[in-house]
Every structure is written in structure tokens, then in C-alpha cells.
Structure 1
């Protein structure tokens, strides 16, 4: 099925894209439209909300990290069995990294490459007629990116709505929605973004409230008409893979502390015949000793450090596993592999001690951005010299141990960061989250 698609973009972060996107997903689903979702760029948290709103997995589409044929393949998959594909942008519509046209990680890349129109969510608080001038800039900035209309967010009154609508008439753009300032609930946040979907006690009620607000204040028929079939073209016969399965049987840590793993990678492992056996460190479960590899993804271990430190069955089982099988940790998983973790109150909690580093959230430092990694040793990510792209996003400071580094990193602009991560025997880890090999 060649589904219609639309991108929900905005001029900047904090404009209300996620709120609008979730409300639209749930509202269309309630109408009987088969909705699927995607997220432009690197993000673990928003796609989990998408999945709850749509009733199915949301995929990440990252034009910087993913080779073009893999990007087209995942977009084609996202359209299967769908009437409408809603793609939520990240940051501002044109925000990305690097200088390679079409591979900057911006949602605008998807719009230009695949002919997907954009519904522009604009926070119009504190402005009236200026909204039209801002929208006009988006219309003319890149002729390959078609702006289908504007959804005005945080509108103060009926008069305010009228001013915005009149200003848009000069651009030829329709007003596809006007969401009142008090018309929808806010989504709670923490230091890496939204509070995870799995932690909401009343998530279904929240999604229904967002859909109610969208149905009252947005033009659903107009948005559905604005969405267009994707121009994906033929797929390459030499399709890239994001990351080959690192083992046949994989023990995967999966709970509220370790949830940051990309669905497209797990789907690829399963397609290739790998068996994935989830376990929960927070429930004091050990990795299945019959597995060949234990994968510890990122997440929020710092919020559960005391509980993890007291999970003796898990920690002893992990140490026993590491004596015979490979263990790899990404970001939060890498933190757990170290000697200890200091929480934001300055309390130190002993960790697995399979590597020599210590991490701290009492001395916070933001590490954020795209990364290209070259492997300095063979590991579950690939052979020596293997190249891959992904990102870092954490606030931890690190006291290094005496382990050998795992990867050599450059940032999204090509600036050298240098050796990072660590390796010791069969245990490896890094703050780098892989999205796709190159």
C-alpha cells in the first residue's frame, strides 16, 4: 500500500510538534484511518508515544546516519498496511548536521527526497501578523520542501486566531488548526526529553485528551487531503543493513532503566534469524546463560542506581555471563558496566565492575550530537575499522579506568573527538548509540 504521508514540523524545538503529532495519530485512528508513525532523526522516547497512539511500532528515519537505500527501505516498510504515515520532525524543520545535501539529518531532507508535504506547527504566543512572515520564510527557503499549511499552537483567543489566519493569507497557506493555549494537556519532561511512555499511569487518557483537542481545533479533513503518496522510487538491489545481528541468541536488557534500542535494529536482527531473549535488571533477572551475547542498551539507569546496585541476582549473573560470552553496553548500559555510578544527590552506587570507569550525575555535563565511529577492535558492533553512524545524548561525567578505547569518534561536522568507550576481555561499551553502519 502506498500510504499518504505528512511531516509534522516546526521552526524550533518546543513548538508543540509531539503534542500535535500524538493528537493527530490518535484522532485519525479513532476515525478508522490506518495510521503509522515515524520520527525524523535520533530519538528513543517520542517513538514509544507514537506506538501507543497508533497501536504499532514507530520507526526512526535519519538521513544523516542512514545510507540512502536503507532510509528508502525503512520508509517503504513504514507505509505497509497503512492509509496515513505521520512523521514527526526533530528540532527545527531544517536543522541538521554536516554539509552533504540530503544527508543532514533534517526532516526537510525527507520532505525534499520523497516529496512529503509539511504541516508547520508554529508557537504563535507573543505574535500576531508576524506569524505570516515566519511562515513565508519557510515557503521560500527551499523550493523542494512543500509547506502544506500551518497549525497554530498556543493561540490566546478568537481574535488572536483571526490575526494569524489573516497573516497567512498573504502566503497562500491554509490554517490547518488553531490550538488554544489551554486546550490540551502538557507532556511531562526530564533531562533527556519526555518522561517515557511506559511510566505514564494514565497514558491512554492523555492520548484521548490530545485527540479530543485536535478534533475540536484542527482541520482533520484538510490535513488528510494535504498528505500525499510518498515518492520513494525503486529500492537498491544492494540494500544496506543497519547493523547485522551480533550473535545468534541475544540476551537483551529491557525495562524502564534500559529501553533505548532502535526498533529498526531489532527488526533487522529478527529478519536475519537472531533470537532475542529480553530480561529485566530492575526485576533482578540475570541474562539467559544459553545466549551468545548480552546487550545492555541505554535508558535511565541513573534514576534506578540504588535498586540496580542491590540486584545481586542480575549483577552476579551478568558477571558470570561475561566470563564466557560477549557483553556490550550502550550509554546507560556502558555506565552500568563500570565500577560505580554517582546519582544527582552525590550518592555512589556500586555497579557491575566489569570495566574500570566511574560515572557521575552529580557533576553533570551535556554530551549531545551526531557521531561517526571507527571501531578500534573487533566487537559486537563489527570488525576492526568498521564505520558506523549514530549519536550521543547524556549528562554523565566520566572518570576513565585503564581499559583500552573501543571507538574513535568524530562529530556531525567532521571534528575529531577522539578515542572513546572501552573494552576489557569480552566486555565492551561506549556512550555512542549506533543507528547504522556505513
Structure 2
């Protein structure tokens, strides 16, 4: 079976792509279509919504961080046994960073690489016929990116729908439906984006409401017909992150949630076992594992509980006496001496590294990162390169005395200096690894 695929794009963030995408995923599933979701870029939250809608694992495809061969491998893997793949764009369709062709991080890179059409979601609130000018710009901006059809989102009335729709149709772009403005369809947000699907009250019922809105408002047959066969040469896992051990103790609960689905999938495919444990439940990393991995998440929201989790604190310290422990972003914060929460309360953390962090002193750090490892460690050997990104509001308020984990540059190569810390078998930084360089 060759799956069909379609990219769902928009002019900007906040256009309603995620709500439309997860509504369509559930609506097609209710029709009996074997459908799966993909998110472009480094957003680690939205794949959870795709999974909630389909009950199947989501996936990130990032054209900056992942080499084309790895993109193809992961995409085809996601398409196995599927009839339809909906690929949700991050930000605006063409938004990326300058650099090598088709490695900007923009969803439009995938449209070119995979030869896929785009379903354009236009938030028409505050405009009517002008929406056609925006759509026209998308149609002609890049001849290699085909805009197949348009969804008008957040129309205020039937008259608004008619004015906008007729103008867009007149420029030759099919309109496959209009979703009227409805505040009850909005997903809640917080400082790192949408509240995660696993934390959303009555998530399944909300997705059903979204699916109902899509079924009433959109021509699902036309959307399916607009998709094109997901047919491409086989890729490879040459640039995938290698498993850091045979048995990996993975912190997994409301404080530790941000590990990319493709990383877990490829580690398992390479023969590794992933053993989850919950620091918030005061569980220690299992002693029979080879490495402990603390992913990113929201430790700043649970700092008090983590500080009082004595079994976890004692257990991870004992584990680190002889085996590697690595922390990414939130995990790195927990590896430090202290964490100051949003209320200014300072909580003792594991102290396995000597830095201190604060969520009270906020500064947004966001962007692609390329690291060069300093010393052998869980992400590779000394001098090897890894691509990924940072997205956090917490700040390091005391750098500590540890050796650096890596040197780091931004996505266009600007040197950002040393990153993170390394002490014995313990390492960490704010860097989220995605793939090998």
C-alpha cells in the first residue's frame, strides 16, 4: 500500500493548523481511513496531539536537523500500513533559516523534497477578499511548491464566508471548506506552546468536537483527492542518533515529556530497550540499566515534588556513581544544584552537576543549534557534531565549575560558546538532540 500525503500549511503560527490537523486526523479515522500525522520542525508538543487523535505515534520531520536520507527513512516508516499522511507545518509554510537548499527547517522544504501538495489554512478573520491576495501570493511564491487547495478558518458569518470564498475561487484556488469562528475549538496554551495532549482535560472529547467541525465544514473527499502518493526512494538511518546504551532508563512523567518520537523509535529499532521510570512518583532509575536519560519537560512546574522525591534523589546519585546520566533542557535543570521556580522559591535538585537555574528570571532562548561534543558521552564521541534546538525560558544563574558538555553554534553557524556541563559520567545541557550532523 502506498500512502497518500498532504502538507497542511499556513501564513503564520496561530492560523489554526493544529486544530484543523487533529480534527481532520480524527475525522478521517472515523471514516475508516488509516491515517497518521507528522509535524514539521522541532515542535515536540504537537505530535502528541496527532497521537491522541489517531492512537498511533506521531513524528517530527525537521529538514534542517535531519539529513534528506533520514527524512525519507522516517517518513516512509511512518507511512507503513497507512492510507493517508497529514503533515502539519510549523509556523508559516516558508519560514526557516538561511542556508543550504531544502535544509532551512521550513515545511516547504518537505513539499519540494517529497513532491507533496499543500493544503493552505487561511485565518480569514479581520479580512474578506484580501484573503485571496494572500492565497495568490502563496500560489506564485515558489513554483516548486504546489498549493492544491484552501481551507478558510475563523470566518465570522455566512456572508463573510461567501465574500472570501468567491474571491479565492476566482484566482483559481479551490476552497475545500470553511470553519466558522468558534472559541470552544481553541486549544489551551502556556509558556512552551500548547498544553500537552496528555494534560488536556477531556482531550478525546475535544478532538471529537474538532472532528465534528471538520466533518460539517470541509469536503473530506476533496481533501483526500488532493493528497498525492507518498512515493520516494528509500532513506537510511546513517545520521540517526545511536542508542546511548542497551538498556536505557528514561524519566517519563509530567515533568519529563520532551523526547522526540523518532528517537525512541530508532533506538528500539537498533536493539535498545527503553525502561521508563517516574521521578514524580519517587522512582529511581532501575539499577540494571546502562544509562539514565532525563529528557526535557516542565520540572519548573513540579520542582517542589522533585525536591522531596528522596528515593529518586538517592537512587539517581547511586546510579551516577558508576553509570552515565544525561539531561536535556528540563533534565539538565534537575541535574543542577538548585532550581528556582516561578514564585522565586529555590528547590534543591540532584546536585550531580554544579550549575543552578531559575524560572523566575525568565529569558526566552529559541533556535536551531549545532553542537560539537567535548569528550565522549551519550550523544557520541569527542569532536562529533549533533544537530538539534533549544527552547526554554529558564536561565542559568550560576554556571558552576563543571567542564563543558559541548561547544555550540546557532543554525547559521554563529558561535555561542560553551554549552552545558560534564562531570564524570554525568552530562547535560539545554540542547535537545535531533540527529547526527
Q: TM-score, normalised by structure 2?
A: 0.98
The aligned residue for residue 416 of structure 2 is: 417
The aligned residue for residue 136 of structure 2 is: 136
Alpha-carbon offset, residue 376 of structure 1:
1.1
The aligned residue for residue 196 of structure 1 is: 196
Alpha-carbon offset, residue 201 of structure 1:
2.4
Alpha-carbon offset, residue 183 of structure 1:
6.9
Alpha-carbon offset, residue 345 of structure 1:
0.7
| 1:6-17 alignment runs, 5 A limit | 6-17=6-17
The aligned residue for residue 339 of structure 1 is: 337
Distance 1:195 1:216 in 2: 26
Compare 98-107 and 28-37 and name the one that shifted more.
98-107
The aligned residue for residue 211 of structure 1 is: 211
The aligned residue for residue 164 of structure 1 is: 164
Alpha-carbon offset, residue 283 of structure 1:
0.5
**SS at 2:185 equivalent:** coil
Residues 1:73 and 2:73 are matched in the alignment: yes
Match of 1:252 among 246, 250, 253: 250
The aligned residue for residue 102 of structure 1 is: 102
**SS at 2:133 equivalent:** helix
Q: Please give the per-residue CA displacement for 1:348-376, whole angstroms capped at 9, x wherever unaligned.
A: 01100111111111110000000011001
Q: Is the 8 A contact 2:76 2:234 kept in 1?
A: no
**SS at 2:65 equivalent:** coil
Q: Is the 8 A contact 2:120 2:150 kept in 1?
A: yes
The aligned residue for residue 117 of structure 1 is: 117
Alpha-carbon offset, residue 94 of structure 1:
0.3
Distance 2:209 2:365 in 1: 35
- Aligned positions, number: 436
Residues 1:291 and 2:261 are matched in the alignment: no
**SS at 2:48 equivalent:** helix
| 1:8-407 alignment runs, 5 A limit | 8-182=8-182, 184-232=184-232, 234-236=233-235, 239-398=237-396, 399-407=398-406
**SS at 1:282 equivalent:** helix
Distance 2:164 2:253 in 1: 44
Alpha-carbon offset, residue 52 of structure 1:
0.9
Alpha-carbon offset, residue 239 of structure 1:
4.2
**SS at 1:410 equivalent:** strand
Alpha-carbon offset, residue 101 of structure 1:
1.1
Q: Is the 8 A contact 1:27 1:215 kept in 2?
A: yes
Distance 1:98 1:52 in 2: 34
Compare 261-270 and 87-96 and name the one that shifted more.
261-270
Q: Is the 8 A contact 1:98 1:414 kept in 2?
A: no
Show structure 2 runs of 5+ residues with no match: none
Q: Please give the per-residue CA displacement for 1:272-303, whole angstroms capped at 9, x wherever unaligned.
A: 11111100001000000111100000000100
Compare 178-187 and 47-56 and name the one that shifted more.
178-187
Distance 1:128 1:344 in 2: 42
Distance 2:248 2:221 in 1: 45
Q: Is the 8 A contact 1:12 1:91 kept in 2?
A: yes
Distance 2:135 2:378 in 1: 46
Q: Is the 8 A contact 2:66 2:239 kept in 1?
A: no
Q: Is the 8 A contact 2:403 2:423 kept in 1?
A: yes
Alpha-carbon offset, residue 231 of structure 1:
3.8
Q: Is the 8 A contact 1:184 1:210 kept in 2?
A: no
Q: Is the 8 A contact 1:184 1:213 kept in 2?
A: no
Q: TM-score, normalised by structure 1?
A: 0.98
Alpha-carbon offset, residue 415 of structure 1:
1.2
Q: Is the 8 A contact 1:183 1:213 kept in 2?
A: no
Alpha-carbon offset, residue 184 of structure 1:
4.8
**SS at 1:111 equivalent:** helix
Q: Which runs of 4+ in 1 moved over 6 A?
A: none
Distance 1:170 1:66 in 2: 39
Q: Please give the per-residue CA displacement for 1:207-264, whole angstroms capped at 9, x wherever unaligned.
A: 00000111111111110111111242x225x642411111111100001110110111
Distance 2:370 2:237 in 1: 20
Distance 1:211 1:271 in 2: 33
Distance 2:267 2:82 in 1: 24
